[in-house]
Amino acid sequence: MSLTVLLPSSSFFLDKYLDEIITSGDFSARQLQLAVKLELNSALIIQRQTAIQGSDLWKRLSQKLAKNDGKIAFELAAFYHKVNRQQVNNQQVKDNYIEEDLQQNIITWYQQAIRLNYQPAYIEFAKYYFNAGKLEIASEILKPLLENNQALNLSIEIAVSQGDIDFVDKHFDQLKKFADNNQSEPQKNSKKIVNLLERYQVSAQQRENQETKFNSCNVSVQLFATNFYDLTYIEKQVTEFASHPLNQYLCFPPIRYVKLSQLECSHFADERIQCRESQWKNLAGSIQSRYLGILLPRGGANVNNGILYLDRQDTVQVLAHELSHLLGFIDEYPLPVNHSVCVAPQKRMFSHNIVVLNSVYQGKRKEIRPKILKQVPWFALIKDTTPILLKVKQGWRLGTPESFAGNVGLYLSETCDNQKVQAFKPLYQHTQLRYFEQYFPVEYVTQLNENLTKFLMPSFHYNIALSLLVEGEELEGEELEGEARKLNLEQAQSLLKQAAITERNAFRH
């Protein structure tokens, strides 16, 4: 006698029956196959577990389950996010560009996970926008979750990048409470953030509590940055710079924070950094250094009088190159057309490593040579046996022949290439003033030892004063022209006096 097993005929009862069997774990391959065909979640979950992550099957199953499962929606978004990072690392995409479909998948599934209130999705989705530079969106995502330790940590970091110091001050005590317990990674991170806020004097409260222990030197440079990443990066660069020959002539107070919005910079990523330098007037009183420098997220490094500009892609070699300008060294690569250095032969010496002189001279060599050497800062390093004048039809051409390349002399420099005058440098070979990766010559260090302050850039106060004067002239025609221009003029005069105090040379003063 055979025994027949009857299954419920209703699809509802069949679904329920199969779901219970699958959930219990005591099921046959045929029952699992049937449950998958009916798209029961319990069966799809088991099938997904055996599928290769990233395969078409795995993605299809994940998409079905993510409609009601926040964790799986999060895992799906995280998968696409990982794919994007791999492509960026493999340089399949440039400048963090994300393929449209890939980007849409990341956003869609993070949003779905958040709709299903899966809390880890808030953090990762905010990080996604934070790393893309979309700070406002990242901040909005985290707002419902500020009681969460990780969410607050990231929100503080975003606020610092945005310059929202009111938010930092408002939540500082809450952050410290999290930091007091070091048992978990988020709490350890809170302690790290508290330390960064204090170290870089981010908030008004922190600046008031900070005791200045720095003793200024002749050539000190106060460095700033606008977010945690850049602050720690420039601090690391300063540490690496300690092994550079120029380090002995410079000193650096503790790195400080400044709001990016306060600087009012106006340049594209591939352009020379330019910011509204009058904006430093509000911080000038708290800066003891002769110079200031700012590391920004993007832009071309340069030095403008007493202010140094860098971007986060710059290496310690770039830092060294730019710092050398503050000390009075000039670029040995071509300067822009009509640069002031290349307009006419020099009337007085202006740099440790470059002179701009006439190319051809008339008269007796014995009389011409001493006159030329008086205009050359490194004349003491030029041997009497090293020629600096070559006989030509027109008279005497200035320059040391290549055959004397091992000696200090007067060699053609690219500084003023294709311009009205010719520039000359002490050494034949390329240096760090030509290519960042090259060495910094001992002969240039000797020049600094002889007279450190002779060719220093003016202090940063000079920059602010000039900017204020230019802005004052631009106020012509404004309703408040009189009062505004008067205020600008008064501030500029005060800052010029401060700049003059730092100058020992009467002419420069």
Residue 126: in which H helix or E strand, if any? helix 119-131
**Residue 398 belongs to some domain of the structure:** yes
> Which among 160, 172, 192 has a CA at the least distance from the CA of 258?
160
Give the pTM.
0.87
Write the pLDDT tens digit of every residue in 247-289. Answer: 999 999 999 999 999 999 999 988 999 999 999 999 999 999 9
Whether residue 228 is found in the same domain as residue 321 = yes
**Residue 209 belongs to some domain of the structure:** no
**Count helices and strands in the chain by DSSP H and E runs:** 19, 11
**Residue 335 belongs to some domain of the structure:** no
> Who's near 187: CB < 8 A, 6+ residues apart?
149, 178, 179, 180, 181
Whether residue 162 is found in the same domain as residue 94 = yes
Residue 155's pLDDT band (cuts 50, 70, 90): very high
**Residue 466 belongs to some domain of the structure:** yes
Residue 31: in which H helix or E strand, if any? helix 29-37
Given this model, what pLDDT does residue 88 score? 66
Whether residue 310 is found in the same domain as residue 351 = no
Contact by Cβ (8 Å): 302, 272: yes
The domain boundary, picked from 170, 199, 228, lies at 199
Given this model, what pLDDT does residue 45 score? 74
SS3 316: helix
Whether residue 318 is found in the same domain as residue 247 = yes
Whether residue 401 is found in the same domain as residue 495 = no
Tokens 């012509």 found at: 476
> Which one-letter amino acid corresponds to residue 421?
V
Whether residue 90 is found in the same domain as residue 171 = yes
Cα gap 268→118, rounded to integer Å: 38
Given this model, what pLDDT does residue 229 score? 96
Whether residue 347 is found in the same domain as residue 496 = no
Given this model, what pLDDT does residue 476 score? 59
Query: Higher model confidence: residue 202 or residue 19?
Result: 202
Burial class (CB in 10 A: 0-12, 13-18, 19+), 61: buried
Given this model, what pLDDT does residue 4 score? 44
Whether residue 194 is found in the same domain as residue 222 = no
Given this model, what pLDDT does residue 494 score? 94
Write the pLDDT tens digit of every residue in 34-85. Answer: 766 766 767 677 778 888 998 998 998 889 889 999 999 999 999 999 988 7
Cα gap 404→389, rounded to integer Å: 13
How do strand 355-357 and strand 360-361 relate by DSSP bridges? unpaired
The domain boundary, picked from 199, 230, 249, lies at 199
The domain boundary, picked from 156, 173, 199, lies at 199
Write the pLDDT tens digit of every residue in 417-442. Answer: 988 899 999 999 999 999 999 999 99
**Residue 463 belongs to some domain of the structure:** yes
**Residue 384 belongs to some domain of the structure:** yes
Cα gap 234→322, rounded to integer Å: 14
* Tokens standing for residue 392: 């030509």
Residue 184's pLDDT band (cuts 50, 70, 90): confident
Residue 3's pLDDT band (cuts 50, 70, 90): very low
Tokens 């493999």 found at: 90
Contact by Cβ (8 Å): 136, 163: no
Contact by Cβ (8 Å): 261, 163: yes
Contact by Cβ (8 Å): 297, 311: yes
Whether residue 41 is found in the same domain as residue 149 = yes
**Residue 334 belongs to some domain of the structure:** no
Q: How much is the average pLDDT of 477-482?
A: 57
Given this model, what pLDDT does residue 129 score? 96
Whether residue 53 is found in the same domain as residue 27 = yes
Alpha carbon 142 to chain centroid, angstroms: 25
Write the pLDDT tens digit of every residue in 260-270. Answer: 999 999 999 88
Report how many domains make up the chain: 3
Contact by Cβ (8 Å): 109, 73: yes
Whether residue 234 is found in the same domain as residue 194 = no
CATH of residue 490's domain is 3.40.390
Domain that holds residue 235: 216-328+456-509
Whether residue 105 is found in the same domain as residue 180 = yes
**Residue 508 belongs to some domain of the structure:** yes
Q: Picking from 203-207, 212-216, 261-265, which range would have the lowest pLDDT averaged per residue?
A: 212-216
CATH of residue 52's domain is 1.25.40
Residue 397: φ, ψ to 5°: -90, 130
Tokens 């200031």 found at: 292
